Amino acid sequence: MESKTSWIEAEIARLKEQGLFTNIRTLESPQGAWLTVDGKRVLNFSSNNYLGLANDPRLIEAAKQAMDKYGVGPAAVRSIAGTMSLHLELERKLAAFKGVEATVTFQSGFNANLATLPALVGKDDVIFSDELNHASIIDGARLSRAEIVRFAHADPDDLRRQIANTQTSGRRLIVSDGVFSMDGDIAPLPELYKVAEEHNILLMVDDAHGEGVLGRGGRGIVDHFDLHGKVDIEIGTMSKAFGAVGGVVAGKQVIVDWLRQRGRPFLFSSAMTVPDVAACTAAVNILQSSTELVDKLWHNAELFKREMATLGFDIGHSQTPIVPVMLGDALLAQRFSRRLFEEGVFAMAIGYPTVPQGKARIRVMNSASHSPADLEQALAAFQTVGHELGVT
Ligand SMILES: Cc1ncc(COP(=O)(O)O)c(C=O)c1O
């Protein structure tokens, strides 16, 4: 009889044949400007540690102190066994930082989307979703059982057309990533807001890559566009710029109250752990008190982009610290990434199916943790490999 898992072995073999099997590198150091990866010291241009907070002593100290007081785990779902004052403090601080009525936290950004979409729309309703939205939005939309209507990427006119062509007597919701993580472009939120207002449709933005990056001192995309009070639901993550792990939904009190009643990852999964909550609270305190890290991130990103363009690289149309170094061919991108690694720079090749065929790239993630010397070294490595592989 055929083994029950032989189909999985066949699928894995096929992925390996196509060069699509993901080999995960082992990190033997904390996240920072430099990493020890598979035993080698390399400059880190791969992670979402935008502000360098993942190994910040202030976050570590806050996590330790909180563990001394509260232990490690929440040990239960908040709605069943009660919520720690620690979680409520983080939610209050996040609300004050972002200038919203209320926030509620989840175990991750992914869970925040899985909680929110099915709580707001159901099977007789419609979700209008940017065609390049993140997997967690797609999965949350599917879980909701609402009809999903995709609109062309960052195209409010197409959104208008899709709305006009979709008949429903149910509820409607527009959802978009805030920053698109493969190209670094920003959603046209003021235009999406206009469309949402014209049709009285709920508007939701997932600001995972904008939280701690965009807006005054990292207050996010809504602040960036000065749309306070106008976007109904803002999803965020504390797993990127905030340096720890966790998800957040920010908006009107009534929406947050509803998510505490109907968000399934809130009701059926344990809360964020104590050190995560304490570290996130410390991150909010840091951002609240100074724009220094956010300013440094943008300074580094602008410098890197300027120098890469001068070196002759095609760096796409990023409006954020995410820099796609466009190479086209997937095998070239993989070779480029391997050679960069040999030159001491860890920057990942991204190819199909994560990005369209023929649009393979190296995705460079800038960080406030990089020193001027780090940037210089990385640029020199790009120049060397670019010449060697005939890209520049
Ligand atoms: C747009 C978007 N939403 C959600 C997530 C998931 O966030 P987390 O890692 O906190 O689950 C990501 C992370 O890749 C993202 O880019």
Residue 369: per-residue pLDDT: 98
Pocket test for ligand 1, best of 136, 177, 206, 240 (most atoms within 8 A of CB): 136
Would the CB of 370 count as within 6 Å of ligand 1?
Answer: no
Would the CB of 84 count as within 6 Å of ligand 1?
Answer: no
Q: Whose CA is nearest to atom 12 of ligand 1?
A: 208
Strand intervals (E) in 33-100: 34-37, 40-44
Q: How far is the CA of 208 from the centre of ligand 1 (A)?
A: 6
230 is catalytic: no
Residue 273: per-residue pLDDT: 97
Residue 1: per-residue pLDDT: 86
181 is catalytic: yes
Pairing mode, if any, of strands 247-251 and 102-106?
antiparallel
* C-beta separation of 245 from 217 below 8 A: no
pLDDT at 20 over 90: no
Tell if the pTM clears 0.85, that is, is over it.
yes
Q: What is the average pLDDT across 327-338?
A: 94
Residue 352: per-residue pLDDT: 86
Sign of CA dihedral 15, 148, 258, 232: positive
Residue 19: per-residue pLDDT: 78
Q: Whose CA is nearest to atom 7 of ligand 1?
A: 109
Q: How far is the CA of 109 from the centre of ligand 1 (A)?
A: 5
Would the CB of 105 count as within 6 Å of ligand 1?
Answer: no
Residues 6+ apart with CB under 8 A from 247: 105, 106, 107, 108, 109, 110, 111, 112, 113, 235, 236, 237, 238, 239
Neighbours of 353 (CB within 10 A): 7
Q: What is the average pLDDT across 109-129?
A: 98
Q: Of 357, 342, 340, nearest to 45 (Cα)?
A: 340
Confidence band for 339, pLDDT divided at 50, 70 and 90: very high
pLDDT tens for each residue of 231-240 = 999 999 999 9
**Arithmetic mean of pLDDT over the chain:** 97
Catalytic option among 224, 240, 305, 370: 240
Q: How far is the CA of 106 from the centre of ligand 1 (A)?
A: 12
In angstroms, rounded to a whole number, what is the distance separating the alpha carbons of residues 320 and 180? 9
209 is catalytic: yes
